[in-house]
């Protein structure tokens, strides 16, 4: 039985993950947290499970903590998890490069699965995009990434779109910050051969669509993943939570979880 704690359990993803955990026979939800100024602290999330403001306050020590919050909250969690020696599964997005380095530093002390998208299908897409990029490198193909999310999403482009762009740049042997183009307007001139376009749309209740285009003169290859329910991300996080328990301190990805 894996004991799980979930941060930000009042939010859409946190609440979903916590509720799914309750219904899994091999998992036990031992606690949930919310930000300290939340009026929900001390109230029940479910029978026998109350909201706390920190994992340090939980009445039962978790084997793993799942975090889908915001960067500021995740960085505070990193400090607490390091102190307690508890593994983390982090699905939060919107980190700066310096903040990502803090996650890397923490992973030298505790095992961490860190992925901008916990969907198993999206991680297969990551793998495929890497292979296609290598195969089409220097063969005249333009790469564009287009993502759509719901109107409530706070960061853009999505963490998944940025990860896709990083994968493309790495396999082209380029630095992403030197060739990424985020939207276009006005007289931009012809497209540069090594550009990676990253475009974001926000509308309605779209859970998450990501398409990577590889286009040459005369043909276009489109690789698309569409999420129709947030449950796909939540269930992927639970797969990662089961997997990380007992692992050595290191920064892991969903590739490690999936064995690919």
Task: Look up 153 and say whether it is catalytic.
Answer: yes
Backbone phi, psi, residue 121, to 5°: -65, -40
Which residues share a beta bridge with 64? 4
Q: Which residue among the candidates 10, 76, 150, 153 is catalytic per the annotation?
A: 153
Q: Which helix (DSSP H) or strand (DSSP E) does residue 208 occupy?
A: strand 208-216
Structure token digits, residue 192: 């540069």
Which runs of consecutive H residues, i.e. helices, occur in 52-143? 71-84, 97-106, 120-136
> Beta partners for 240?
none
Choosing from 149, 163, 210, 225, the catalytic residue is 149
Chain-centroid distance of CA 23 in Å reads: 23
- Determine whether 149 is an active site residue: yes
Cα–Cα distance measured from residue 198 to residue 156, given in angstroms and rounded to the nearest whole number:
10
Query: What DSSP string runs through 211-222?
Result: EEEEEETTEEEE
Q: Cβ distance 64 to 87 under 8 Å? A: yes
Q: What number of helices (H) and strands (E) belong to the chain?
A: 8, 13
Catalytic residues: 149, 153
């Amino acid at each position: 039985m894996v004991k799980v704690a979930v941060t930000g359990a009042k939010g859409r993803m946190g609440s979903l993950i916590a509720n799914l955990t309750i219904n899994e026979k091999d998992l036990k939800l031992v606690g949930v947290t919310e930000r300290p100024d939340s009026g929900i602290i001390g109230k029940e999330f479910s029978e026998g499970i109350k909201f706390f403001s920190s994992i340090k306050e939980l009445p039962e020590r978790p084997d793993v903590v799942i975090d889908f919050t915001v960067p500021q909250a995740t960085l505070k969690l990193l400090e607490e998890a390091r102190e307690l020696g508890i593994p983390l599964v982090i699905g939060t997005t919107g980190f700066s490069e310096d903040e990502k380095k803090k996650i890397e530093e923490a992973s030298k002390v505790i095992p961490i699965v860190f992925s901008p998208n916990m969907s198993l299908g999206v991680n297969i897409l990551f793998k495929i995009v890497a292979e296609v990029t290598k195969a089409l490198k220097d063969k005249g193909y333009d790469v564009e990434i287009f993502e759509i999310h719901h109107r409530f999403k706070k960061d853009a482009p999505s963490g998944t779109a940025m990860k896709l762009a990083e994968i493309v740049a790495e396999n082209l042997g380029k630095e992403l910050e030197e060739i990424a183009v985020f939207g276009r307007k006005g007289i931009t001139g012809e497209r540069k051969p090594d550009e990676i376009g990253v475009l974001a749309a926000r509308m309605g209740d779209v859970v998450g669509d990501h398409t990577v285009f590889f286009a040459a003169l005369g043909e276009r290859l489109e690789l698309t993943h569409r999420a129709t329910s947030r449950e796909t991300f939540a269930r992927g996080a639970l797969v990662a939570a089961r997997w990380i328990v007992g692992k050595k301190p290191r920064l892991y990805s969903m590739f490690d979880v999936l064995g690919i």
